[in-house]
C-alpha cells in the first residue's frame, strides 16, 4: 500500500472512533415498517468507472449534526468497521444523509478505491459531483435504507443500500 493510501486510510479510520459493537445483524429479506412500507434488507450498489464492481456491505453512524454517515463496502470485514478491520477493496461514503424519512435528499459523497483499478491512477478517492438519494427510510438505532444515484468524474454509482447501525461510526 502506498504512503498516500496509508495516510488516507489512517485518517478515515481515525474518524470512526467509538464502540466497535454491531447493533444488529444483516438479513437478506424484506421488513415491514409500521406504516406498512416494505424495505429491502439487501445492499447492491453498482460502481461503474474504469471497471464495474458491486458493493454489498453497508453500515451507518450518526454525525454530531444528527445527519447519518453511511459507508458501503466491497470486501473487508463483515462486521462493523473497527480500527483493526481489514481494508475493503472499495468504499462508497455518503457523509450527510438526513436522519428522517424523505422522498428525496442529497449529501456529500466520496468513492475510495483501495485496489487501484476503478479510478484514474494514482487516485485513491474521488468526490461525487452529483448525489441523489431517494426513498430514504431511517429507523433510529437500527437501519437506514435508501436508493442512491451518484455521479463522479470517473463514472457512476447506483443502487439500493440497507445499512445497519454501528456505534463505531458515530461521532
pLDDT per position as a tens digit, 23-64? 334 444 445 555 546 789 999 999 999 999 999 999 999 999
Structure-derived torsion over alpha carbons of residues 93, 57, 99, 126, reported in degrees to the nearest 10: 10
Q: Tell me phi and psi for residue 12, to 5 degrees.
A: -65, -45
CA distance 169 to 14: 10
pLDDT at 111 over 80: yes
Choose among 69, 159, 70, 152: nearest CA to 111: 152
Choose among 137, 130, 126: nearest CA to 160: 137
What's the rounded mean pLDDT across residues 134-150? 92
What's the rounded mean pLDDT across residues 119-142? 92
**What three-state secondary structure class fits 81?**
coil
What's the rounded mean pLDDT across residues 109-118? 96
* Tens of pLDDT, residues 52-97: 999 999 999 999 999 999 999 999 988 999 999 999 999 999 999 9
The pLDDT score that the predictor gives to residue 99 is 85
pTM: 0.79
CA distance 5 to 8: 5
| Residue in the structure block whose three cell numbers are 464492481 | 53
The pLDDT score that the predictor gives to residue 100 is 77
Amino acid at each position: 500500500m502506498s504512503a498516500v493510501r496509508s495516510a488516507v486510510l489512517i485518517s478515515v479510520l481515525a474518524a470512526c472512533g467509538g464502540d466497535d459493537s454491531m447493533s444488529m445483524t444483516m438479513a437478506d429479506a424484506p421488513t415491514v415498517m409500521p406504516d406498512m412500507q416494505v424495505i429491502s434488507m439487501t445492499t447492491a450498489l453498482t460502481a461503474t468507472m474504469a471497471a464495474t464492481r458491486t458493493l454489498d456491505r453497508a453500515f451507518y453512524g450518526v454525525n454530531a449534526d444528527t445527519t447519518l454517515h453511511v459507508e458501503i463496502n466491497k470486501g473487508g470485514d463483515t462486521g462493523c468497521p473497527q480500527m483493526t478491520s481489514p481494508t475493503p477493496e472499495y468504499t462508497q461514503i455518503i457523509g450527510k444523509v438526513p436522519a428522517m424519512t424523505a422522498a428525496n435528499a442529497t449529501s456529500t459523497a466520496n468513492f475510495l478505491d483501495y485496489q487501484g483499478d476503478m479510478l484514474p491512477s494514482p487516485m485513491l478517492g474521488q468526490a461525487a459531483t452529483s448525489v441523489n438519494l431517494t426513498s430514504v427510510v431511517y429507523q433510529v438505532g437500527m437501519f437506514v435504507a435508501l436508493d442512491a444515484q451518484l455521479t463522479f468524474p470517473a463514472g457512476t454509482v447506483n443502487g439500493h443500500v440497507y445499512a445497519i447501525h454501528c456505534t463505531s461510526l458515530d461521532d
